[in-house]
Structure 1
């Protein structure tokens, strides 16, 4: 039995995108070329890999098992490339990184320039995605790693904790809590709390922290994935919202009195997450080091507070 790595790449691409034309575009070949190679592989194996009568195209039972093994084989090839780079003491290639929206504007500017200058031969490709999308793309090898809030407890996904952010309450100047130095967790207001849209892990942490029912300052139908937008809604419309520490550092000095520490001290754990079969170990280690150096040192202390559940 003979097959090529290219054929394996083609069947993985079709499984990932569930469309022959899109898979061909991503593999930089024509659709007839990709289809011909997959058909040839099916003839060599003596099984049909894809049910072409369905749209989007789906793998057969045999196809699912073979494609899973193809992904493992391609990961092992990546590990060989990693060994070669290690021998040559060179880091190069592509690193596809996902990052959640409540981290991206506050964390990316802190480390991305340092990383790209330190490793100019590495093409860092960053995508801003919700946690569920990052996990899904890690499993289908569309991403190499992700920056997300943990613990997630996802099968086959490993978590490497990076730092721990305080969760702070941000209030309007006329809010009843505005003059208090800090508050107890049970005092976090439910009736005027602005929340992120469904699907954001920080929304879940907010609800878990204060036992919120999900109803709050919803005077009109509005969904946001932006912490900055929620902060400005508090400024103009009143109420309060929770901010993680890196976002809170963006609050102007004259408004810092409106940030309230919460007791007992809640924190969110930020981690680098990746597939169990991740091949680019050296890249992961270097990225971990640079991110940890880029955040305030006190955020590295795991014991600084109690991690709030994401789910």
Structure 2
């Protein structure tokens, strides 16, 4: 059923004649008559009783009750599709790893949402490995995460490397030390994330090259943002991405380590075939990239 036929019907009812409807819609009267005949043929009912005056049949009155709603829904659909094409509406499925999901994304997405209020953003949080799987299974459009293992179907745009810092309980002996080096951590009980975490891998690389074997076995905590609370409780010290522990929570102190190396790369992970991405997904990806590069 064509929208123009419904509009022709609605205009005839509103103006009371085929002639006035034709003038309002800038058609000839025969064209309006043909349109109504086509509409009646599609519906299989007569909509008007023709005579000296135009009156609606029972079917015509029933159809009129729905015509306004149909046209309103069409206008909404038209507007929504227009917004989607222009990148002003739709849904973006974004993946993110910690600490970026908690410490970087909220501010970026708040600014973006203020500019694009019709865009719905769904955020999935997990590990880099989970982000890779979700992309390959088409569960997310792109991800903000650390660099994964190379994959033929995925591209990774590195933005910067994470900066590590040392987090201590406020009463710890190293808290008052002016200069700290990795060797100073040799006898300390360290708090680590799981072995597959990019931060854990990078920290162990530094420890192996500068310290060798730690004398005290470390405690493993799943979740980089949770480690600061274990430090606060005096259960150990931690090398952590600076963004995850800044500002420090009460009872903890942040200290720089002179010979500390940079952390793993952080960037945007997405499918190489970007033709399948929506305009809003591409726009949001570019906005995250722009803001993170400026902030770094």
- Output aligned runs, 1:206-217, within 5 Å: 206-211=203-208, 216-217=217-218
Q: Corresponding residue for 1:75?
A: none
TM-score between the two structures when normalised by the length of structure 1: 0.57
Aligned mate of 2:175, from 178, 183, 188: 178
Relative to structure 2, which stretch is displaced further, 247-256 or 158-167?
A: 247-256
Q: Where do 5+ consecutive residues of structure 1 fail to align?
A: 1-83, 300-311
Cα distance change, pair 189–176 in 1 and its aligned pair in 2 (3 A): farther
| Runs of 4 or more above 6 Å deviation | 84-87, 212-215
Cα distance change, pair 169–296 in 1 and its aligned pair in 2 (3 A): farther
Relative to structure 2, which stretch is displaced further, 172-181 or 124-133?
A: 172-181
Task: Give yes or no for contact 2:169–2:252 (8 Å, CA) kept in 1.
Answer: no
Q: Corresponding residue for 1:263?
A: 259
Aligned mate of 1:150, from 123, 136, 147: 147
Q: Deviations over 1:207-262 (max 9, x none)?
A: 222227697333xxxx5333343112112224210121211323159854x32234
TM-score between the two structures when normalised by the length of structure 2: 0.60
Matched, 1:197 2:194: yes
Q: Deviations over 1:93-134 (max 9, x none)?
A: 221111113322112222121122222332211111111111
CA distance in 2, matches of 1:292, 1:121: 21
For the residue of structure 2 that corresponds to 1:227, the secondary structure is coil
Cα distance change, pair 198–267 in 1 and its aligned pair in 2 (3 A): closer
Task: Give yes or no for contact 1:99–1:146 (8 Å, CA) kept in 2.
Answer: yes
Please, what is the CA RMSD of the aligned residues?
Answer: 3.2
Q: Corresponding residue for 1:140?
A: 137
Once the two structures are TM-superposed, the CA of residue 172 in structure 1 deviates from its matched residue by 2.2
- Output aligned runs, 1:105-254, within 5 Å: 105-150=102-147, 152-189=149-186, 191-211=188-208, 216-218=217-219, 224-252=221-249
CA distance in 2, matches of 1:173, 1:242: 15
CA distance in 2, matches of 1:134, 1:98: 6
